[in-house]
């Protein structure tokens, strides 16, 4: 397995030293991203130090009041295995990703199967900023100011049938743009899934930006899923297909190692990963660890979805 233990994360990796040496190049790549995306029919943009700024965003009442993690840390440290196994691999390798043109196929148990261009998807609902906690299964965490809208809007427009019980999310798997798709790290394409009631919950977000700007390529551009009460790998990146199905999807990590990665993957400090404890986490930028909260601190909003379930068995 390529996943490392929390104890393997060195302080120098929290904000990688190489990031500062590459700062000028990173800013250049952000400007190139802005040009490559084009303005088209997207919401109003303005130039920023990193890329395209999204204007006119409304603030969401669903946000946490915690201080967001620094932009440089969010965009330089993470998992995106299509671009490599290391935490800095996405920043180094994702700039080759082409995010225009981009379409999302919506099909399966729906009355209105359709293929939607990303620029049209952005018109489906007002964009808002939602500051969410992000907890990784490896033991690190962040606070991210995402930009997007509730996945429930997509479900409403798809007009699902009575047979739809789950939602599958398929990520792009293009070896030309994503070099590690050629490796057997996972069974590509990356597939994740939610139960329908989880997908329809107001907290479940389709994100197209962060820090008020267009979503960087290394963070899952141009559109990704965000499910804040679950471990981070549940939030599929660079989505190209949303499929409604009757049976529980066979997701990428469950197929890879079902003993370590369950379908539900709710943040639970009482259920350890087989190779490390989940009782504590290290917030990127902090020195000391903190206690992990059930459902990543969102228990009041989502615990009812799992009433009567054995959350140790259904991990």
* Three-class SS state of 170: strand
Q: What is the pLDDT of residue 315?
A: 94
State the pLDDT at residue 187. 96
Task: For the beta carbon of residue 264, count every other beta carbon within 10 angstroms.
Answer: 18
pLDDT at position 204, please? Answer: 98
Q: What is the pLDDT of residue 50?
A: 64
State residue 18's pLDDT score.
37
Picking from 226, 170, 232, 219, the residue whose alpha carbon sits closest to that of residue 33 is: 219
pTM: 0.85
Q: Please, are residues 265 and 252 in contact by the beta-carbon 8 Å criterion? A: no
Task: Report the CATH superfamily, name and number, of domain 6-306.
Answer: Oxidoreductase, molybdopterin-binding domain (3.90.420.10)
As given in the structure block, the two tokens for residue 181 are 């798709």
Q: What is the mean pLDDT of each run of 10 residues along the chain (315 residues)?
A: 37 36 37 35 42 89 97 97 97 96 98 96 95 97 98 97 98 97 96 98 98 97 98 98 98 95 97 94 96 98 98 93
Nearest alpha carbon to residue 72 among 186, 201, 187, 219? 219
d(C-alpha 100, C-alpha 66), whole Å: 33
Quote the longest CA-to-CA distance of the chain. Answer: 54
What is the structure's pLDDT at 56? 87
Give counts: helices (H), strands (E), the chain: 10, 15
pLDDT value at residue 55: 85
Sign of CA dihedral 31, 32, 33, 37: positive
Domain locations in the chain as residue ranges: 6-306
């Amino acid at each position: 397995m390529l996943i490392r233990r929390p104890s393997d994360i060195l302080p120098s990796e929290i904000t990688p030293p190489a990031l500062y040496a590459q700062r000028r190049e990173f800013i250049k790549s952000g400007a190139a991203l802005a040009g490559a995306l084009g303005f088209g029919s997207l919401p109003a943009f303005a130039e920023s130090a990193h890329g395209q700024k999204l204007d006119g965003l409304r603030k969401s009442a669903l946000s946490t009041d915690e201080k967001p993690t620094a932009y440089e840390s969010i965009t330089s440290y993470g998992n995106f295995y299509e671009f490599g196994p290391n935490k800095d691999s996405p920043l180094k390798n994702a700039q080759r990703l082409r995010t225009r043109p981009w379409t999302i196929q919506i099909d399966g148990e729906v009355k209105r199967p359709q293929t939607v261009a990303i620029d049209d998807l952005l018109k489906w609902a007002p964009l808002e900023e939602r500051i969410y906690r992000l907890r990784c299964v490896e033991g690190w965490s962040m606070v991210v100011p995402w930009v997007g809208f509730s996945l429930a809007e997509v479900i409403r427009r798809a007009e699902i049938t009575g047979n739809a019980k789950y939602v599958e999310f398929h990520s792009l798997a293009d070896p030309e743009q994503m070099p590690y798709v050629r490796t057997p790290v996972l069974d590509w394409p990356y597939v994740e899934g939610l139960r329908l009631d989880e997908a329809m919950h107001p907290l479940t977000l389709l994100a197209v930006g962060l820090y008020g700007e267009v979503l960087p390529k290394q963070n899952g551009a141009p559109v990704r899923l965000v499910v804040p009460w679950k471990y981070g790998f549940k939030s599929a990146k660079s989505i190209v297909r949303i499929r409604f199905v009757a049976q529980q999807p066979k997701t990428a990590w469950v197929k890879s190692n079902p003993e370590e990665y369950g379908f539900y993957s709710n943040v639970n400090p009482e259920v350890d990963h087989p190779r490390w404890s989940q009782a504590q986490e290290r917030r990127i930028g902090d020195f000391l660890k903190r206690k992990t909260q059930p459902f990543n601190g969102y228990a009041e909003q989502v615990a009812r979805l799992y009433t009567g379930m054995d959350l140790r068995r259904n991990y």
